[in-house]
């Protein structure tokens, strides 16, 4: 069973999706690559309460690491990219090229960018911490303004930031 709930955050409404044991999605309003909510998904905040609490703590500046169980769905390549994203420390950024190198294929920076953009667990799997090699923000599935807000929350400065 997939559950979902929504809550208000400093970057707008956020929808959480998950099972009784793991978080499967964190989506913002107008999220570029948000998959359709599964048929039969049940609105129930109960199974997602821990995820919401951890995100609220993050937005309040009281949490730098997340401890909830995650279960993203993707290709093996996407899973490698999303795992590499989780290794980017709070308050730091890397380039798409750096991320490609971390997944063992430095020439695949465009594919890495695509996988980054399709990350279903935004914020917790910190795709917002990947920027262009020249220091500009690059893209973000939730919109560049939200990326700026998240990086500012983590006190990251960028050239175009």
Q: Tokens representing 58?
A: 């993050």
**Which among 4, 2, 28 is positioned nearest to 16, based on CA atoms?**
4
pLDDT at residue 36, as a whole number: 81
Strand partners, 24: none
Active site (annotated) includes residue 127? yes
Distances (CA, A) of 61 to 90, 92, 144, 153: 11, 15, 20, 7
Active-site hit among 100, 127, 150, 153: 127
pLDDT at residue 141, as a whole number: 78
**Which among 77, 75, 55, 56 is positioned nearest to 125, based on CA atoms?**
55
Q: Tokens representing 101?
A: 């190198």
Could you report how far apart the first and last alpha carbons of the chain are, in Å? 40
Q: Tokens representing 62?
A: 């009281």
Q: How does pLDDT run along the chain (161 residues), one tens digit per residue?
A: 999 999 999 999 999 999 999 999 999 988 777 778 889 999 999 999 999 999 999 999 999 999 999 999 999 999 999 999 999 999 999 999 999 999 999 898 889 999 999 999 999 999 999 998 888 888 887 888 999 999 999 997 655 44
By three-state DSSP, how is residue 99 classified? Answer: helix
The tens digit of pLDDT for each residue in 84-125 reads 999 999 999 999 999 999 999 989 888 999 999 999 999 999
Strand order of the sheet with strand 23-28?
23-28, 12-18, 3-9, 42-43
């Amino acid at each position: 069973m997939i559950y979902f709930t929504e809550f208000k955050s400093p970057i707008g409404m956020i929808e959480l999706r998950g099972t009784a044991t793991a978080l499967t999605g964190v989506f913002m309003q107008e999220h570029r690559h948000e998959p359709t909510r599964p048929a039969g998904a049940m609105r129930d905040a109960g199974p997602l309460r821990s995820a919401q609490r951890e995100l609220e703590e993050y937005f309040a500046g009281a949490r730098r690491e997340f401890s909830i169980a995650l279960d993203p769905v993707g290709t093996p390549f996407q899973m490698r990219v999303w795992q590499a994203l989780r290794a980017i420390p709070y308050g730091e950024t890397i380039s798409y090229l750096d991320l490609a190198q971390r997944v063992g294929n430095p020439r695949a920076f465009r594919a890495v960018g695509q996988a980054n953009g399709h990350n279903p667990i935004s914020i917790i799997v910190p795709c917002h911490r990947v920027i262009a090699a020249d220091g500009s923000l690059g893209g973000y599935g939730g919109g560049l303004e939200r990326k700026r807000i998240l990086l500012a929350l983590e006190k990251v400065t960028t050239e175009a930031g």
